Every structure is written in C-alpha cells, then in structure tokens.
Structure 1
Amino acid sequence: MTAPEDLRAGLRGAGVALQVGPFVVRLRSRLDRVERALALFYDRQLLPPEQAAFADFHITLARASGLHWLWRPQARFFLDGRSPFRPLPLAHAYPLFEWGLNWCIAQHAHDFLMIHAAVLERNGRALVMPGEPGAGKSTLTAALTLSGWRLLSDEFALLSLTDGQLVALPRPVSLKNAAIDLIRERYPQAVIGPASHDTSKGTVAHLRPPDASIQRMGDPARPAWLVFPRFAAGGRDHLAPLDRAVALQRLVGSSFNYSVVGAAGFEAAADLIEQSACLELEYADLDATLGLLNDLTAGGA
C-alpha cells in the first residue's frame, strides 16, 4: 500500500500509474479531492515505478487558470496536455476524472468491441447488461457486486475481437440520486465516497469495488446472459426472452465503436448473441429482481 505522502508526491510530480483493467493510466494532480478519491478507490491498483514505464493514457486534473475562476473555481481534464472538454466546478473534479477516463477508453480502445454495459461474473459465466440512462443499470450492478458477483465493469463491456471473451475493467460504480442511499442502507459493508451534488447527472457518488474484483482483474469471462434492464416504478419484476435479431440490433446500438471496428465487430457481437441467453428485464423491486438474476446461475434462464 502506498503511503499518503508518497501518493501526494507522485501525483504532484511525474504522476502515479494505475492498472485499470488492460490499461495503464498515468495521473497527475495537485487537487486534494482527487488525491483523497484516488486513495479511497484506486489504492490497490497503484503500480510500482519499475512496472510503470509505459502508460496508455497520460491524464492531468488541474484547477482552471485565469482571474475569472477565482470566485468560481473549476477543474480541467487534460489528456496528453490537451483539454478535450469544458471545465467543471472544482467540487466535481473526481467525477470529471471518471467521465474523462470513459472518454479516453471510448476514443482509443479499438482492440475491443466496446459496449455501454455493465458486466458481472459468477461461476465462470458473465452477465452483460446494456442500459440507457435511467434504466437502473448501475443500481443493479452495485447490488449484484455487493451480493457475491464479480464486477468486471459498470460502464464498458470490453469484448475481445480475437477470442470473444469479456475483459475485466473494474472501477468504482457510479451511483446517482436515490440509489446512493438505497445501496448505503441495504449494504452496510459498502464503501461509498463523498457525494458530488448538482452535476449534469444529479447527485453522484462512487462505490469502491470489492477486493476480490480487483484481485481477479486479469481474469476474463465468457458471456452467458445478455439482459436489457428497464426500471418501471410500480411494475412487475420479470425476465422475458428477447428475439436474437432484436438483441443484436440493440447490442450494436449500444456500442461505442461498432462503425470503427467493422466486420470484426459484427462477428464479435454475433458470437456474443449466439453464446448468450437474450432477455429483457423489467424491474421495480430490487429484492425480486436480484432473485431473478441470481436464479440465472442456477439454470433459471
């Protein structure tokens, strides 16, 4: 474990290196809130200097400069010295890191078909859950992660174009609004960081991944279930089979880079569909839905 003073020196110097799934991220920042978040969420993924000669992404989080920002402090995200998007309030500096890293991966990781989906594994088989905003994907991901499933990712299904396996990218799970208190109250063991209020997504807080998910970061998983969740307040919790052609169309629509990877992406998506039970999930009650998803591992699909 890196000592706090070493973490601070690294962040304020040449940067610290993080192993984030298949990527190495070198991060520099003089922002205290970024330092605290890194110590809470990424302490197990810090690389020693001898393993950190190369990095996929060189990121800096810094206070925006200029007199204009003295009375309204803001943070900027830099990749390789360039700032690809507008600054955010300084209080949102850590969510900005996570959102910026999402952007980096989506723009550059074309060895994979990248799908906007959560991925979890149990008994060697993976559950892939693509989700539109408001579908409740992250809430389900947090609940499953804290109930014994291995977290591969909350944001990206990284589907290998060579062997069709899902590559792990365990990072903090982004919880929003009412889901923060729901998960905190239901799972007392959950480690949830400070909330950032009034972001573009409302109130956001992050869940620390369990140690087991980080320890098995190098282990891929085979797809077994492709589930499209939809939260419906007052609805009934049920899983329904989904036509494979429709599932393929939705999967492609959820991909970040399908048009970039071309035929290899189609083959990877089609193989995932062939290997998976394709289902739609409507859920309203978390307990009932967890029961449905846990039953999948017992042959309930």
Structure 2
Amino acid sequence: MGELPAPEFAAQLGGEGVVFRAGRFSVRLLSPLASVAEGVHSLYADSDTLAPAFADFTVRVQPASGLRRWYRPQALFSLNGALPFAPLPLAHAYPLLEWGLNWCVSTHCHQYLIVHAAVVEKHGQALILPGTPGAGKSTLCALLTGRGGWRLLSDELALIDLASGLLHPNPRPISLKNASIGIVQRTVADAVLSPAVADTLKGTVAHMRPPPGSMVRVLEPAVPALIVFPRFIDGVEGKLAPLPRGEAFMRMADNSFNYSILGAEAFRVLAALVDQSRCFDFPNGGDAAEAIATMDALVQS
C-alpha cells in the first residue's frame, strides 16, 4: 500500500474505498477523513491492496452529519451500515478505526477461540501475553518485535485454531498508551508511530507500524509454547514466577471474547493449549532491556 501516492490513496478512500489486508482479514474501508487516510497509508504501508470483489469486513469511518458536522465534530464507525459504537470526537477517528476492526474480529470470527492477548514468536515458539488494559502487554509486544527480533502475530487478539490448536497471525498496528509511547520511541529506533491522540477513553494513544517481516509471514501459523501474564508495577524488578496450569487456564478463559459462545469446544482447545505451554507471571517495572532479555531467555531454555 505504501507504493500508492498518498493523494491518490486518500482520493480512493474518500470515493469507492480501498480493499486491503488488515492482518489476517480483508477490509474494504471508505473514509473521507484525512487523519484516517494518513494513518492507514503510513501504518499499513507493508500490507497488500486487494481486488475489490470481496472483503471480510466493509467499514466506514465518517464525520457525523447535521449540526455535529460543525459543532464539536464527531466520527462514526460503521460495519455494513450498522453503527456499533457511540460517536467519538473527530480527532479520535484513526484510533476508532483500529478499535472498530478489533471489534469486528472478536465478535464475528468464531472459527477461532479468541483471547485478549498479544502474541509474538521466535525460534518457532509462540509467546502469548494475555492481560487487562494497563498490564503492559502491548508495550512488551512492541519492544519484542521492534527491537528483540520477535515476529508479531497480534498485539490484541490471540486467534487459536479450533482444529489444530495453532495460533494464526493477525499483525496490525500495535496500540500504545500513555507512558508506553515514550518508552517505545526511546527504545525502538526505527519505530513508525501515528501522531499521538490525547483525551481518548484510554488516555493518550498512538499506533506503531508492524515490522515488515511479520507482514510477509501473515499466513504462517505458530505453535503455542509459552504463556506469560505481564503486570506493570512501577519500581519492581522484573522476575518470572511459574504459574500453575490450572490458574493459567482460568485466566485465559476470563480473557477470552468467545469462550462462552464456543462452550465445550473452547474448553477442549484451551485445555490443550495450556497443557503444552509453560506458564508464568511476569511482574515488572517497565525496564525494556530487562524485559527483552527475560523473554529471550525463555525461548533459549
């Protein structure tokens, strides 16, 4: 996509739309908003544009009509014409697109067991990083893929194949919040980030372009081997603590978007995944070098 001149891309996006690969899925996006065009053109530069015949999701990000077009302008996200979210301030349009695409996958793609987790891979071993907002999973994901040589599968959604138990990649821009933006900017020298957007529901947010190597391997699944639950605690030295598999199973189930929908099949798939993985807690104070070295030691042991 980065080979398209930016003005031409923006014109297509504001007209009939552009179909492109957003991680594992194809998206037809229509938007007249400059911030959306600039964000997609920059952060999906290594993604392929696709033939317009079919897309997994057809989405729009557009300004609200009526008085809202002029007074406190707002942005709307729609999927196939339906509006799943309340409008957000117009300045939040690009983060709204990324959050909306996460919602599309987590609520519609039940061919996978979907867990709220970052996933990276190195030396053939996939590392799952589940966590609630603020735990530091996306920050650790950005550090490992941006400086540690790990492959990005996803920063938000672990897609577990129901038949094989493998993890399917969905590499899209990595969502960074608040202090993590500065940590990544200082640590990952060649990181490409979107402009920071302040005062969102998650604080100040920015998105980081996925490493090109992750995009090349977008259709290559990975074998689960490690589950690490990061917990950011200011001032704490990072230290891995082994976690009983039963507790890891319960935490993974709690972080799943569709465990209750899939029922017994979800239990079977998740139990097999946890059984073949080494499981740890990882309280840490956000030291980038320490975190990268700790995760590298896991795949070497």
Q: Is the CA contact 2:160–2:168 (under 8 Å) kept in the aligned structure 1? A: yes
Alignment partner, residue 115 of structure 1: 115
Instruction: Name 1:197's counterpart in structure 2.
Output: 198
Task: Give the Cα–Cα distance (whole angstroms) in 1 for the partners of residues 70 and 7 of structure 2.
Answer: 28
SS of residue in 2 equivalent to 1:75:
strand
Match of residue 214 from structure 1: 215
Q: Distance in 1 between matches of 2:213 and 2:31?
A: 28
Q: Which residue matches 1:278?
A: 279
- For 1:55, give the aligned amino acid: A
Is 2:46 the counterpart of 1:41? no
What's the CA shift string for 1:28-54, capped at 9, x where partnerless?
0000110001110112223242xx411
- In structure 2, distance between residues paired with 1:164 and 1:21: 19
1:254 corresponds in structure 2 to 255
Task: State the alpha-carbon separation in 1 of the partners of residues 9 and 68 from structure 2.
Answer: 31
2:134 match: 134
Q: Which moved more, 1:229-238 or 1:272-281?
A: 229-238
Give the secondary structure class of the aligned counterpart of 2:9: helix
After superposition, where does 1:69-84 map in structure 2 within 5 Å?
69-84=69-84
Q: Which residue of 2 aligns with 1:263?
A: 264
Corresponding position: 1:96 with 2:96: yes
- Paired letter, 2:12: G
Q: Structure 2: where are the runs of 5+ without partners?
A: none
Is the contact made by 2:226 and 2:277 (CA closer than 8 Å) also made in structure 1? Answer: yes
Contact 2:130/2:228 (8 A) holds in 1: yes
* Aligned residue pair count: 297
Quick check: 92-101 or 264-273, which moved more?
A: 264-273
Give the Cα–Cα distance (whole angstroms) in 2 for the partners of residues 236 and 282 of structure 1: 8
Percent identity over the alignment is 48
Q: Could you tell me how far apart the structure 2 residues matched to 1:289 and 1:68 are?
A: 45
Give the secondary structure class of the aligned counterpart of 2:54.
Answer: coil
Provide TM-score, normalisation by structure 2. 0.96
2-structure distance, mates of 1:286, 1:48: 37
**Contact in 2 for aligned 1:238/1:289 (Cα 8 Å):** no
Distance across 2 between alignment mates of 1:104 and 1:210: 23
Residue type of the alignment partner of 1:13 = G
Provide the rounded CA distance (Å) in 2 between the counterparts of 1:144 and 1:193.
Answer: 19
Task: Tell me how far 1:17 sits from its aligned partner.
Answer: 0.9
Aligned-partner residue type, residue 81 of structure 2 = G
1:27 is paired with a residue of what secondary structure?
A: strand
Whether contact under 8 Å (1:16, 1:46) holds in the other structure is: no
CA deviation after TM superposition for structure 1 residue 62, in Å: 0.4
Deviation at 1:138, TM superposition (A): 1.0
TM-score, length of structure 1 as denominator length = 0.96
- In 2, the alpha carbon distance for the partners of 1:127 and 1:99 equals 23
Q: Following TM superposition, by how much is the alpha carbon of 1:254 offset from its aligned partner in structure 2, in angstroms?
A: 0.5
Amino acid in the other structure paired with 2:120 = L
1:84 shift after superposition: 1.1
> Using the alignment, how far apart are the partners of 1:43 and 1:12 within structure 2?
18
3-state SS in 2 of match to 1:45: coil
Aligned residue for 1:43, secondary structure, equals coil
Aligned partners of 1:48 and 1:102: how far apart in 2? 20
Q: Distance in 1 between matches of 2:189 and 2:49?
A: 30
Deviation for aligned residue 1:271: 1.0
The root-mean-square deviation of aligned C-alpha atoms, in Å, is 1.2
Q: What residue is the counterpart of 2:20 in the other structure?
A: 18
Structure 2 contact 171–214 (Cα < 8 Å) conserved: yes
Give distance in 1, aligned partners of 2:92 and 2:251.
Answer: 32
> 1:69 Cα shift?
3.9
- The residue type equivalent to 1:130 in the other structure is P
Q: Displacement, 1:153?
A: 0.3
